[in-house]
Amino acid sequence: MNELNPSGWRPAMGASAPPDTIETFTGNRALQLEEALLFELGSPDRSGVDFDDIPDFDTALLGPNARKARLDLPGLSEPETVRHYTRLSRQNYAIDLGLFPLGSCTMKHNPRLDEKVARFPGFADVHPLQPVQTVQGALSAINELAVWLIELTGMHGVAMTPKAGAHGELCGLLCIRAALEAKGDPRAVILVPESAHGTNPATAAFAGYRVENIPATTDGRVDVDALKARLGPDVAGVMITNPNTCGLFESELKNIADAVHAIGGYVYCDGANFNAIVGRVRPGDLGVDAMHINLHKTFSTPHGGGGPGSGPVVLSEALSPFGPLPFTSRQADGSMKLIEEEQAHEEHPQAFGRMCAFHGQMGMFTRALTYILSHGADGLRQVSGDAVLNANYILRSLEDVLDAPFGAAGPCMHEALFSDDGFAEGFTTLDLAKGLIDEGYHPMTVYFPLVVHGAMLIEPTETESKAGLDQFIGAMRSLAERARAGDELLKSAPHLAPRRRLDETLAARKPKLVYKPA
């Protein structure tokens, strides 16, 4: 008898067999259901949508390129479609299922009010090129979010159109380039710390700059002396992540910014980790000239299995005149104006151009604004406080079993960083990460940042309860001990997931990117 089964009744049990030796006819394992490919299930004749028949359809106005054969795209009826995608969905891990500790990704709860609001017809069912008089509410929503972003960062302006973080980085660098060119002083080099996310150097290269790396110090921060030594008239600017990818605050950012400004350069801040400081620190107070904000991180628009994101870029007074088109502007009478190419000559003559068609990620704006209004200034401050508290709780609860390379230096920000130091010979970060899958968690970010050997970057976010963190810590301690002891079963983990480890080498050597019938 126990608490859950006070009657003490037990079903009669058959002869026990270890579950992994039981074969099933279907390949399914109870609720773990295999699902064939759409192309093995559907046919072009089947459809889940009804249309009226159009007898005697005339193709004359389509011209000579009118299609001769029907497209070979398989269709399914609605019940089959719903089942196909429901079954597939169950092979995914998700925030809704549990803690998702991916460092620098800020996988926090996605409030459902945000989903509901984004679907209001005034946001979801308006066309981007409708006359401005018919979309005043939509423009107003963009503008309200813009004002919040400016206030929360202490900056001067904001470019709303970038479609993701990397797109925002590009926007910021193009502002810097435009500002330098306007001064007749184009420069060639962007400095990037070696701990930076890969998008930073890729973006700088895409914007036409030569990238030079700046080393990190042993305490996990940018080497300020090395950076200052490299500053010169060819340096357009620096890209710094703050808090950085080691989960630490770059305490010297203001000094760095002053030095960069002194040589006529600009400071780009990667705002991927803004969740750690929102409501407590304004990047504008630290001398930042441009910073993107991943709305899909700090402001909790859903990650959706890899996007869509949204990456508005807040800008200093020096860079604001160069921001891209289009943007919104509130008039004295409260009405909204849209500044596009037509008005740019008079209202925004130095715009560097356009990042994309239309106005940016409206569906993400409405979600983020709803999130921000729900939290308010006090709630957002609590967000960063709890996010940092949760990360430090993990750091201090694990540092006796996992090496925390910067643990001795003081508190971390919103993510805790560990290395593979102390694992048994032949055991790696990947083994521990895959073991976490069997424990029912998504692994943390692994092998990033590059400056720490076998890095494990854990970001719990503020939406985890203490009980949830305690269970995760228990699982991590168990795994750390197994990795230190050299438990062979860990090397072949996961054992309990829908798939075991996948052959990535085969995938890359013989790429199969589309289905081809056998």
Partner 1 sequence: MRYLPLTDADRDAMLAVIGAGSVDELFADVPAAARLAEPIAGLPNHASEMAVERHMARLSADNLTAGAAPFFLGAGAYRHHIPASVDHMIQRGEFLTAYTPYQPEIAQGTLQVLFEFQTQVARLFGTDVANASLYDGSTACWEAIAMAARITKRNKAIISSGLHAHYVETARTMAKFTGDELVTSAPELVAEPDDAAVIAAIDGGTSCVVVQYPDVLGRIPDLAAIAQAAQAKGALLIAVVTEPVALGLLESPGSLGADIVVGEGQSIGVGLQFGGPYLGLFGCREKFLRQIPGRLCGETVDADGKRGFVLTLSTREQHIRREKATSNICTNSGLCALAFSIHMTLLGGEGLSKMAKASHMRARQTAERLSAIPGVAVINRHYFNEFAVTLPHDARQVVRDLADRQVLGGVSLGRLYPHVDALSGGLLVAATECTTDEDIETFATTLAEVLA
Please list every residue from 325 through 344 that binds partner 1, using CB under 8 A. 325, 340-342
- The answer to whether the CB of 175 falls within 8 A of the CB of 163 is no
Look-up of token digits 């810097």:
176
Shortest distance in whole angstroms from residue 84 CB to partner 1: 7
Tokens of 257: 């910014």
Tokens of 309: 């994101």
Give Cβ neighbours of residue 65 (< 8 Å, ≥ 6 apart): none
- Taking CB under 8 A as the rule, does residue 98 contact partner 1? no
CB count within 10 Å of CB 259 equals 18
d(CA 207, CA 193): 17
* Per-residue binder mask for partner 1 (CB under 8 A), 422-441, x = binder: -----------xx--x----
Torsion angle of C-alpha atoms 50, 54, 55, 56, degrees rounded to 10: -140
Q: Which helix (H) or strand (E) holds 445?
A: strand 445-446
d(CA 389, CA 225): 31
- The answer to whether the CB of 93 falls within 8 A of the CB of 64 is no
Tokens of 16: 């026990």
* Per-residue binder mask for partner 1 (CB under 8 A), 284-303, x = binder: -xx---------x-----xx
* 481-510 residues near partner 1, rule: CB under 8 A: 492, 494, 497-504, 506-508
- Taking CB under 8 A as the rule, does residue 156 contact partner 1? no
d(CA 350, CA 318): 12
Site stretch for partner 1 (CB under 8 A), options 6-14, 50-58, 260-268, 421-429? 50-58
- Taking CB under 8 A as the rule, does residue 269 contact partner 1? no
- Taking CB under 8 A as the rule, does residue 57 contact partner 1? yes
Shortest distance in whole angstroms from residue 459 CB to partner 1: 12
Contact with partner 1 (CB under 8 A): which of 254, 261, 330, 484? 254
Site stretch for partner 1 (CB under 8 A), options 8-16, 113-121, 227-235, 314-322? 113-121
Phi, psi of 210 (to 5 degrees): -85, 135
- Taking CB under 8 A as the rule, does residue 245 contact partner 1? no
- By CB under 8 A, how many residues form the interface with partner 1? 201
* 369-398 residues near partner 1, rule: CB under 8 A: 369-370, 373-383, 385-386, 388-390, 392-393, 395-397
- Taking CB under 8 A as the rule, does residue 133 contact partner 1? yes
Contact with partner 1 (CB under 8 A): which of 1, 12, 17, 54? 54
DSSP string, 296-342: TTTT----TTT------EEE-TTTGGGPPBPEEEE-TTS-EEEE-HH
Q: Which is nearer to partner 1, 2 or 506 (CB)?
A: 506
Three-class DSSP category at 351: coil
- Taking CB under 8 A as the rule, does residue 244 contact partner 1? no
Shortest distance in whole angstroms from residue 284 CB to partner 1: 10
What is the total residue count of the chain? 518
Contact with partner 1 (CB under 8 A): which of 306, 334, 349, 426? 306
